[in-house]
Amino acid sequence: MEIETVPSESKPESNPLPPKPKFEPLKAHEMSDGRVQFRKVSVPPHRYSPLKKYWMDIYTPVYEQMKIDIRMNLKARKVELKTRQDTPDISNLQKCADFVQAFMLGFDVPDAIALLRLDELYVESFEIKDVKTLRGEHLSRAIGRLSGKGGKTKFAIENSTKTRIVIADTKIHLLGSFANIKIARDSLCSLILGSPAGKVYSKLRQVSARLAERF
């Protein structure tokens, strides 16, 4: 097929079009018209002392690898994060904020650091009352069922689904990839609803085997 070139009659000017401008991606610093971006994460009272203990473990990767300024506002009891000029990516700030938030929820630092390293990890939280309305003794029993003796049920779920679980009274927090979180959530829900741990184990085994087979 032959393409006929149609002379452009729309433009009377014979000047060629200016070249397309090439823009460099914006730096974090330049975003929002060169203003600095902040994040503030509040510290619950029960995480106060662990924060003090692990402060250096938190500070080092955030400041050095993510290139985000971090500080603790003692008066306000908040951890504040701020972008620097040489912050490579705007998402770093959010990642660091998530990381700190995860620590505040109750996750350990090595677990929370995965948030910094991997993109696809999420934190999901839900309450026991979302699943089933339990009161008094039943609630206590449900919490006991979730964690198991010495936490073994919780660890079993963590190990088989590659997630991390934090059971804080009636609140449950999960950290992991989307599919793994789903599996862990299902097993936790079944535990809350009353199924015995053995049943949950067998299901976990099946599911984890299937997950491993996929690749």
Partner 1 sequence: MIPSAMANSTETAVESLHHIKSTEPPEWLVPKQELSQAVRAASKLLFSSLKPHCPKSTFDQLLTEGFDAEQIWQQIDLQSQPLLSSLRREVKKFEKHPEEISKFKDGGVGGGEKKKVLEQIETDNVVNDDDDEDDDDMDMDEDEDDEEEEDEEGEEEEKERGTEEESENEGAEKGGIEDKFLKIKELREYLEEDEAREFGLKKKKTKAESKKEEEDTEEEGDDDEDENEGSVDDDDEAQEEEDGLGLFDGNDEEDEDDLENARYEDFFSRKKNKSSKEKAKSRDMLEEDSGSDDEQDVDKRKNGPSKHEKELDKLRSKIEEMEKANLDPKVWTMRGEVTAAQRQKNSALEVDLDFEHNVRPAPVITEEVTASLEDLIKTRISEGMFDDVQKARTSSSKAPREIKELDESKSKKGLAEVYEEEFVQKTDPASAPLTFSDELKKEASMLFKKLCLKLDALSHFHFTPKPVVEDMSIQTNVPALAMEEVAPMAVSDATMLAPEEVFSGKGDIKEEAELTKAERKRRRANKKRKFKAEAAKRMGKKARQMTTVGNNDEGREG
Tokens describing residue 153: 């049920």
CB of 210: closest distance to partner 1 in angstroms? 11
Region of 8 (left: φ > 0; alpha: ψ -120 to 50; beta: rest) is beta
Comparing CB distances to partner 1, the nearer of 50 and 148 is: 148
For partner 1, which is the closer residue by CB, 83 or 180?
Answer: 180
Nearer to partner 1, 76 or 209 (CB): 209
In the block, residue with structure tokens 């206590």: 140
Interior CA angle at 147 toward 145 and 148, to 5°?
65
- Taking the least distance from each CB to partner 1, the nearer of 113 and 142 is 113
At its nearest, how many Å lie between partner 1 and the CB of residue 151?
Answer: 7
Q: Which is nearer to partner 1, 80 or 186 (CB)?
A: 186
What does each C-alpha distance from 143 to 121, 135, 191 come to in angstroms? 25, 11, 9
Q: Helix, strand, or coil here: 176? A: strand
174 burial (CB, 10 Å; 0-12 / 13-18 / 19+) is buried
| Rounded least distance, CB 74 to partner 1, Å | 28
Quote the least distance from Cβ 140 to partner 1, whole Å: 22
Minimum CB–partner distance for residue 95 and partner 1 (Å): 13
Extract the runs of DSSP E, i.e. beta strands, from 56-208.
68-73, 78-83, 121-127, 164-168, 171-177
The residue behind tokens 């299937």 is 210
At 89, which amino acid appears? D
Binding interface with partner 1 (CB under 8 A):
108, 110-111, 113-114, 117-118, 121, 148, 151-153, 155-156, 158-160, 162-164, 175-177, 201, 204-205, 208-209, 212, 215
* Nearest distance, CB of residue 204 and partner 1, angstroms: 7
Q: Which is nearer to partner 1, 82 or 148 (CB)?
A: 148
Could you tell me if 51 and 103 are in contact, meaning their C-beta atoms sit under 8 angstroms apart?
yes
CA within 13 Å, CB half, 84: 13
